[in-house]
Amino acid sequence: MKLYFKYFALHLKSQMQYKITFALNILGRIVMSFATVTGVLFMLTRFHEVDGFTVSQVLLCTSVVSMAFSVAEVFARGFDIFPQLLGNGEFDRALVRPRGIIFQILASHIEFIRLGIFMQAAAVLCYAIPKSGVNWTPNKIVTLVLMITCGAAVFFGLYIVYASFAFFTTEGLEFMNILTHGGREFGRYPFAIYGGGVLKFLTYIVPLALFQYYPLLYLLGRTQNSFYMLAPILALVFLIPCYAFFRAGLRRYKSTGS
């Protein structure tokens, strides 16, 4: 961890060499992110609620997913650019270094301007919390923290899968954006509104619903089942097949010769 924090400091220092540019980039992310919230507000201004969820409850849902996504984007960015590392031969150098491959990919790229999305989502969360009708208890505070942290881990796993496909194709597969950026966009609303089939897919295959929909029901008092509170932790199991897929790709890796 000490070495990672050194990389963290180096990336932060390099990206803040031009402080005004850095601040404007973050501001731009914040402004762009509010477009998502605006779309939700326009929708609910006309229909008032979605599947029984009020405006503030939907905003709570939206902000949690955006915060989880932004954390993954900041710290898992190395996996997003992984196909470039394969194509230019940089990955070959990583293989001969005395550090784990996952660590090197994580430390290779940390993009702090993505924190603009986190800031915007945090502001929306602060607005939604007192208006969402949640009877806040210690258990529900823990649930909210688990939704964000475990959600970030799920998006992190999706980035690992994206990187793993590059071992087989060399180029990145854009269809994965359906689950990463698309997961954030679909997560603007509780996943149940998309139908039972989609909800099952996002529960058992790609467990986005485990950190979004089910704990949301617990927060709003629609269920007292403690499983719904701990559902985000169950979503962490998703990281096991993601890592296994990455290791399988690594075993068949052949240098591009660049």
Average pLDDT over residues 65-84: 91
Nearest to 189 by CA among 51, 70, 91, 78: 51
pLDDT attached to residue 64: 95
Beta-bridge mates of residue 50: 53
Given a cut of 80, is residue 43 above it in pLDDT?
no
Given a cut of 80, is residue 201 above it in pLDDT?
yes
pLDDT attached to residue 83: 84
Average pLDDT over residues 203-231: 93
Given a cut of 80, is residue 88 above it in pLDDT?
no
Nearest to 236 by CA among 140, 147, 107: 147
Q: Report the predicted TM-score, pTM, of the whole model to 2 decimal places.
A: 0.92
pLDDT attached to residue 33: 80
Average predicted confidence (pLDDT) for the chain? 88
144-177: per-residue pLDDT in tens? 999 999 999 999 999 999 999 888 876 666 778 8
Q: Name the one residue in this structure whose structure tokens are 């950026």.
A: 181
Q: Name the one residue in this structure whose structure tokens are 């702090």.
A: 112
- Give the per-residue SS3 of 182-229: HHHHHCCCCHHHHCHHHHHHHHHCCCHHHHCHHHHHHHCCCCCCHHHH
